[in-house]
Structure 1
Amino acid sequence: MDGGTDSWCPSCRWNLDVYDPALAPWRGTRLIGRWGFRRGLEVDRATHAELLADPEVRSAGTSPAEVWLVVFSVVLALIGVAAAGHLAWLVMADDLPPGVRLVLALPAVLVLLLVKPSFGRVPRHGLIAERDAPQLHRLVREVAAAAGTPVPDLIYADLSINAGVARLGWRQRSVLVIGIPLWLMLPRPARVSLLAHELGHLANGDPLRVRRTLPARTFGARAVAATGGRNPWRRALHSANSMAEQGSGTVVLLGIVVQGLLALVNVAGATAQLLVDSVAMPDSRRAEYRADLIARRVAGSRPFLQSSETVLLADRVWQDLWHLAPRLNSEQLEPTAAESLRHLATHLPLARQLSRRTTDLWSTHPSEDQRMRLIEELPDVDGIIHVDDTRWAGIDAELAPWRRVAYHALLGTRDRF
Structure 2
Amino acid sequence: MLGTVEERVQSCPECGEEIRTDHRFVPWCAACDWNVDPGEPEEPGGRLEALRRRLAREHGERLLAEVTTDEALRPRRDAASVLALALASAVHGFTVALFVGGVLLVVLGWGGALPVLGALCLPIAWLLRPRFSRLPEDEQVLYRSDAPELFALIDEIGGAVGTTGVHAVAVNGETNASVSTYGLRRRRLLTIGLGLWEMLTAGQRIALLGHELGHYAGGDTRHGLVIGNALGSLRTWLYLLSRIESPTAPEAVLNAFYLLPRGAVLGAAMALDHLTLRATQRGEYLADSFAARCGSTEAAVGLMDALMVSGSADVTLLRESNALRGHRGAAGEAESGLWDRLAAHTESIPASEYERQRRRGALRGHSVDSTHPPTHLRRSRLLAVAALPAAVTVDAARGSAVRTELSGARKLVARRILNGG
- Verify same fold: TM over 0.5: yes
- 1:163 is displaced (CA, Å) by 1.2
Q: Read off the aligned partner of 2:86 and give its amino acid letter.
A: V
Question: 1:106 aligns to what?
Answer: 120
Question: 2:213 aligns to what?
Answer: 199
Question: 1:52 aligns to what?
Answer: 68
Residue of structure 2 aligned with 1:85, choices 100, 110, 118? 100
For the residue of structure 1 that corresponds to 2:188, the secondary structure is strand
For the residue of structure 1 that corresponds to 2:181, the secondary structure is strand
Residues 378 and 95 of structure 1: CA distance in aligned 2, closer, same or farther (over 3 Å): closer
Residues 317 and 376 of structure 1: CA distance in aligned 2, closer, same or farther (over 3 Å): same
Residues 333 and 269 of structure 1: CA distance in aligned 2, closer, same or farther (over 3 Å): farther
Question: 1:390 aligns to what?
Answer: 397
Q: Is the 8 A contact 1:143 1:195 kept in 2?
A: yes
Question: 1:183 aligns to what?
Answer: 197
How large is the RMSD of aligned CA atoms in angstroms? 3.4
Q: Read off the aligned partner of 2:338 and give its amino acid letter.
A: L
In 1, Cα distance between equivalents of 2:109 and 2:221: 45
In 1, Cα distance between equivalents of 2:29 and 2:123: 55
Q: Read off the aligned partner of 2:160 and give its amino acid letter.
A: A
Residues 263 and 181 of structure 1: CA distance in aligned 2, closer, same or farther (over 3 Å): farther
In 1, Cα distance between equivalents of 2:401 and 2:309: 27
Question: 1:246 aligns to what?
Answer: none
1:196-225: CA deviation from partner (whole Å, max 9, x where unpaired) = 001111122326972232243233322233
- 1:399 is displaced (CA, Å) by 0.7
For the residue of structure 2 that corresponds to 1:382, the secondary structure is coil
Q: Read off the aligned partner of 1:168 and give its amino acid letter.
A: Y
- 1:39 is displaced (CA, Å) by 3.8
TM-score calculated relative to the size of structure 2: 0.79
Residues 267 and 162 of structure 1: CA distance in aligned 2, closer, same or farther (over 3 Å): farther
Question: 1:244 aligns to what?
Answer: none
Question: 2:289 aligns to what?
Answer: 293
1:370-394: CA deviation from partner (whole Å, max 9, x where unpaired) = 1111112223333111212222222
Question: 1:281 aligns to what?
Answer: 277
Where structure 2 has 5 or more consecutive residues not aligned to the other structure, the ranges are 1-11, 14-27, 325-329
Q: Is the 8 A contact 1:296 1:381 kept in 2?
A: yes
- 1:311 is displaced (CA, Å) by 1.8
Q: Read off the aligned partner of 1:64 and give its amino acid letter.
A: A
In 2, Cα distance between equivalents of 1:201 and 1:165: 8
1:26 correspondence with 2:44: yes
Residues 111 and 352 of structure 1: CA distance in aligned 2, closer, same or farther (over 3 Å): farther
For the residue of structure 2 that corresponds to 1:185, the secondary structure is coil
In 2, Cα distance between equivalents of 1:24 and 1:198: 27
Residues 78 and 197 of structure 1: CA distance in aligned 2, closer, same or farther (over 3 Å): same
For the residue of structure 2 that corresponds to 1:80, the secondary structure is helix
1:282-309: CA deviation from partner (whole Å, max 9, x where unpaired) = 1000000000001011101221122222
In 1, Cα distance between equivalents of 2:267 and 2:110: 40
Q: Is the 8 A contact 1:218 1:273 kept in 2?
A: no
1:106-145 → structure 2 map (5 Å cutoff): 106-107=120-121, 109-111=123-125, 113-114=127-128, 116-124=129-137, 126-145=140-159
Q: Is the 8 A contact 1:160 1:181 kept in 2?
A: yes
1:96 correspondence with 2:111: yes
1:43 correspondence with 2:59: yes
Question: 1:341 aligns to what?
Answer: 346
Residues 209 and 320 of structure 1: CA distance in aligned 2, closer, same or farther (over 3 Å): closer
Question: 2:418 aligns to what?
Answer: 411
Question: 1:161 aligns to what?
Answer: 175
- 1:268 is displaced (CA, Å) by 5.2
In 2, Cα distance between equivalents of 1:11 and 1:379: 31
Q: Is the 8 A contact 2:163 2:217 kept in 1?
A: yes
Residue of structure 2 aligned with 1:236, choices 219, 222, 245? 245
- 1:36 is displaced (CA, Å) by 5.4
In 1, Cα distance between equivalents of 2:81 and 2:198: 36
Q: Read off the aligned partner of 1:353 and give its amino acid letter.
A: R
Question: 2:387 aligns to what?
Answer: 380
1:300-339 → structure 2 map (5 Å cutoff): 300-325=296-321, 326=324, 329-339=334-344
Question: 1:219 aligns to what?
Answer: 233
Q: Read off the aligned partner of 1:338 and give its amino acid letter.
A: A
Q: Read off the aligned partner of 2:141 and give its amino acid letter.
A: L
Q: Is the 8 A contact 2:99 2:125 kept in 1?
A: no
Q: Is the 8 A contact 2:199 2:306 kept in 1?
A: yes
Residues 198 and 207 of structure 1: CA distance in aligned 2, closer, same or farther (over 3 Å): farther
Q: Is the 8 A contact 2:96 2:125 kept in 1?
A: no
Residues 108 and 13 of structure 1: CA distance in aligned 2, closer, same or farther (over 3 Å): farther
1:116-135: CA deviation from partner (whole Å, max 9, x where unpaired) = 22232233553212222122
Q: Read off the aligned partner of 2:108 and give its amino acid letter.
A: A
Residues 227 and 389 of structure 1: CA distance in aligned 2, closer, same or farther (over 3 Å): farther
TM-score calculated relative to the size of structure 1: 0.80
- 1:313 is displaced (CA, Å) by 1.7
In 1, Cα distance between equivalents of 2:335 and 2:259: 49
- 1:262 is displaced (CA, Å) by 5.3
In 1, Cα distance between equivalents of 2:314 and 2:99: 48
In the alignment of these two chains, the number of paired residues is 382
For the residue of structure 1 that corresponds to 2:419, the secondary structure is helix
Q: Read off the aligned partner of 1:201 and give its amino acid letter.
A: H
Question: 2:85 aligns to what?
Answer: 70
